[in-house]
Chains A and B, each alone.
Chain A
Amino acid sequence: MTEQSDLTVDGDLVRALAVLLDETGLSEIEYAQGDRRIRVVRNAPSMPAVTVSMPPPTAAAGAPVAGAEPAGAVKAPMVGTAYLAPQPGAPRFVNVGDHVREGQPLLVIEAMKVMNQIQAPRTSHVKEILVADGTPVEFGQVLMVLE
């Protein structure tokens, strides 16, 4: 490396560090030799140099916001219509606050005229009921939260 005075900027070094930033995806590189130190930082947020082709997000029907799934979530194993009572007018299978035993029916999902019981995976309490009676549900949708 050639001798440089303290006030001369080593352009090659800066360029090399900038290339290194891009290649490694790092946001900051600091290089020191003796008491000479140079730091190259990527501007945040980085502006994409190309057109961002993001489609407008469209809300999916009946799907809850995909956030962190609560522990104890009971998810729909199939597509269909959720019913909270065994028949119209009958008392609901469970209510919020109820104690449930493992295997106890929580709700049914009707798919193609067949009623499928969704059972409690373990003995617990019903913390939340997240679907309304008679509404469509999709695979993986959180139906209830148990604790």
Chain B
Amino acid sequence: MFDKVLIANRGEIALRIHRACREMGIRTVAVHSTADANAMHVRLADESVCIGPASVRESYLNIPAILSAAAITGADAIHPGLGFLAENAEFAQIVGEHDLVFIGPSPDHIRLMGDKVAAKRTAKELGIPVVPGGEAVTELDQARQEAERVGYPILIKAAAGGGGRGMRVARDRGQLDTVFSIAQAEAQTFFGNGALYLERFLAKPRHIEVQILGDGQGGVVHLGERDCSLQRKHQKLLEETPSPGLNASERQRICDLAATTMRKLGYKSAGTLEFLHEDGQFFFIEMNTRLQVEHPISEMVTGLDIVREQIRIAAGAALGYRQDDIIFSGHAIECRINAEHPDTFAPSPGTIQRYHAPGGMGVRIDSALYQGYIVPPHYDSLVAKLIVHGSGRNECLMRLRRALEEFVISGIETTIPLHQQIMASNAFLNGDYDVGWFERTFDRTS
């Protein structure tokens, strides 16, 4: 087992990783930018190293600085968290070459799934149904032909993209002509690569994803699915498990398929396969070869600590359990609480004046906030995750409403009032929502 793990991330996920390490008796090294010198996980970690100024490029994406910090602290493994370098195959490779263990999948699998076009091809080869489309296009003529083949309406996506960013819809040839070159430019800006691909745009799908854990020794299990259809501009606001939109046989089918194919691939560490579900059909969209923000809801219904499992697996342990050993119990929902105005979504960094987290049965808060903490403006706006678990969906909804009432975060704007509105809407209470529902119902800015 590792003696010391370097946490190459920030915010609530860095705290999450620190906690898992501490519970395993592993010492932690928190690397941080100057803006994060007072972050909670930095204060709690056994050691901390400032690796650069506030800018992400010079700190959390600064590979030499991170490796240097690992060298001077004698860390034996690096957990990349999510975002930043978590899906950077080069980073995973370099870490390995420096006699450090990268807590995550192999560089090859990161590379494979990082290229969204190659990922879909691989999925198809493994027998996973995919959204029609997927061939890379670089010229408008090519795009027009591909669009005719796939069928309008189409979604234009970046081949090197992901995380819901840089996607555009074209409902007919006219729109495609208008939007194509803009999409290329955006892909270049966001992901450093202007290659695009087209997919059929589904009208009212649900976003269903399956959590996978593999040990690289043939052991692969799934931890159930998550419904992440509540989104705004392709960014998830709330997630729940099990999905209210699936019946038992659909759930079984997609989870088993995900586990079987990952077993074929020999996948190691945590990963999530994302699908769109419409009219009883599943379509693979992408795979994230890392820990996800919403992993806690899968933990609540299975009792497994996913970060702990990642660390155990990276240290060479076999899973030690099979699919049958995993018992699914109850229902769990997570609300992402952002430092944003609840109506305009304008970012709201600043000093936390008062902070009081809800408690009680079945309530979990994953947050690095504390009274007096200054939320910096340089990073993404997620500041807290409110997770509730209940014996069923109704109990969860009551618990969530109750917990939201208790939650105090003052000094900045947060999306807590927005979640309270969602809790009051019939469609959500009935579990009757698709990926477009939130924007159709709430978002006056879109």
Q: In angstroms, how far is the closest chain B Cβ from the Cβ of A31?
A: 26
Please choose the segment from A5-13, A51-59, A83-91, A98-106 that sits at the chain B interface, where 4 or more of its residues have CB less than 8 A away.
A51-59
Inter-chain contacts of B65 with A (CB < 8 A): 78-79, 111, 139
Report whether A60 and B72 are in contact in the complex, using a CB–CB cutoff of 8 Å: no
Minimum CB–CB distance from A113 to chain B (whole Å) comes to: 9
Decide: A50 near B356, CB < 8 A? Known: A61-B48, A111-B68, A141-B50. yes
Residue of A nearest to B69 (CB): A79
Residues A58 and B51 in contact, CB atoms below 8 Å apart: no
Contact of B50 among A56, A81, A140 (CB under 8 A): A140
Choice from A54, A66, A139 contacting B52 with Cβ under 8 Å: A139
CB contact under 8 A between A78 and B37, given known A51-B356, A140-B50, A141-B50: no
How far does the alpha carbon of A61 sit from the alpha carbon of B59 in the complex, in Å? 18
Q: How far is the CA of A54 from the CA of B40 in the complex (A)?
A: 9
Contact indicator per residue, chain A 127-146, by CB within 8 Å of chain B (1) or not (0): 00000000010111100000
The CA of A80 and the CA of B44, in the complex, are separated in Å by: 22
Contacting B372 at CB < 8 Å: which of A54, A58, A139?
A54
A55:B50 contact, CB within 8 angstroms: no
B49 touching A138 by the CB < 8 A rule?
A: yes
* Selected contact of B51 from candidates A48, A54, A56, A79, CB within 8 Å: A79
Question: Of all chain A residues, which has the CB nearest B48?
Answer: A60
Contacting pair A54 B371 (CB below 8 A): yes
Known contacts A139-B52, A139-B53; is-contact A50 B354 (Cβ 8 Å):
yes
- Please tell me which one of the listed residues B47, B51, B67 contacts residue A139 in the complex, with CB atoms under 8 A apart: B51
Q: Does B64 contact A (CB under 8 A)?
A: yes
Chain B nearest CB from A78 CB (Å) reads 6
> Does chain A have a CB within 8 A of B170?
no
Distance from A64 Cβ to chain B, minimum over Cβ atoms (Å)? 11
- B68 near A61 (CB under 8 angstroms)? no
B43 touches A111 (CB 8 A): no
A21 to chain B, nearest CB (A): 15
B72 touches A136 (CB 8 A): yes
Indicate whether A47 reaches chain B with its CB closer than 8 angstroms.
no
The answer to whether A60 touches B47, judged by C-beta atoms less than 8 angstroms apart, is yes
> Knowing A50-B354, A53-B357, A61-B73 touch, does A112 contact B50 (C-beta < 8 A)?
no
For chain A, the count of residues having a C-beta within 8 Å of the partner chain is 26
Establish whether residues A56 and B43, one from each chain, have CB atoms under 8 Å apart when the complex forms.
yes
A63 in the interface, Cβ–Cβ < 8 Å?
Answer: yes
Q: Which of B336-380 contact A (CB under 8 A)?
A: 354-357, 370-372
Q: Is B300 in contact with chain A by the CB < 8 A criterion?
A: no
Report the bound CA distance from A51 to B53 in whole Å: 32
B421 shortest CB reach to chain A, Å: 24
- Once A48-B354, A53-B357 are accepted as A-B contacts, the answer to whether A61 and B49 lie under 8 Å apart by CB is yes
The interface residues of chain B lying within 8 Å CB-to-CB of A66 are 37
In the complex, chain B residues whose CB is within 8 Å of the CB of A52? 370-371
A64-95 toward B: CB 8 Å interface, digit per residue (1/0)? 00100000000000111100000000000000
Q: Cβ of B140 < 8 Å from any Cβ of A?
A: no
Q: Which residues of B contact A138 (CB under 8 A)?
A: 48-51, 69
B189 within 8 A of A: no
Q: Which of B37-61 contact A (CB under 8 A)?
A: 37, 40, 42-53, 59
- Complex CA distance for A139 and B32, rounded to whole angstroms: 10
CA distance A102 to B10 in the complex (A): 38
Determine whether the beta carbon of B45 is less than 8 Å from that of A58. Answer: yes
Chain A contacts for B408, CB-based, 8 A = 50
A61 to B34: give the CA distance in the assembly, Å.
Answer: 15
Whether A112 pairs with B355 at a CB distance below 8 angstroms is: no
Given the complex, which residues of B lie within 8 Å of A63, measured CB to CB?
48, 50
- Which of B42, B43, B50 has the most A CB atoms < 10 Å from its CB? B50
Closest to B357 in A: A53
Residues of B within 8 A of A141 (CB): 50
A139 / chain B contacts, CB cutoff of 8 Å: 34, 49-53, 59, 65
One digit per residue, 1 when the CB lies within 8 angstroms of any chain B CB and 0 when it does not, for chain A 32-50 equals 0000000000000000111
The 6 closest A-B pairs by CB, nearest first: A136-B72, A79-B68, A138-B50, A60-B48, A50-B356, A61-B47
Q: Can you list 6 A-B contacts (CB < 8 A)?
A: A50-B371, A54-B371, A79-B50, A79-B51, A79-B65, A139-B34
Residue positions of A touching B, CB distance < 8 A: 48-58, 60-61, 63, 66, 78-81, 111-112, 136, 138-141
| 8 further interface pairs, Cβ-Cβ under 8 Å (given A53-B371, A61-B49, A138-B69) | A48-B354, A52-B370, A55-B43, A55-B370, A61-B73, A112-B71, A139-B34, A139-B51
